Amino acid sequence: MADGDIVHIGIEDRLTESDCAKLSIEFDNLIQQADGRPDLKELALRAGKSFLNDLRNGREVDIIDFSADILERYMHEVYESEQTYVAEWDTV
């Protein structure tokens, strides 16, 4: 997928495995190009791929406001990672 290409998905459309592979690679490329802490970039990648996985498997996702959906997933990933971090410190 070239820079600026967008995969258009209509309500009635389904992602093909090829579409999913292209989007997954695009997520990887975007994360590699982004500035930021590696741990937070990994959480952002998980959030994006979680959305893609749900879309691919026919689960209900908000394709109209997908950026808000991915942001919510990212915030959940951050929360979960913080809980893990706190739990690890409680055992010390």
Query: DSSP string covering 62-79, please?
Result: -SSSHHHHHHHHHHHHHH
Residue-wise pLDDT for 60-83, tens only, equals: 888 889 999 999 999 999 999 988
The whole-number pLDDT of residue 24 equals 93
Residue-wise pLDDT for 11-51, tens only, equals: 446 678 888 899 999 999 999 999 999 999 999 999 999 99
Please indicate whether residue 8 or residue 90 has the higher confidence score (pLDDT).
90
Q: Give the H or E element holding residue 4.
A: none
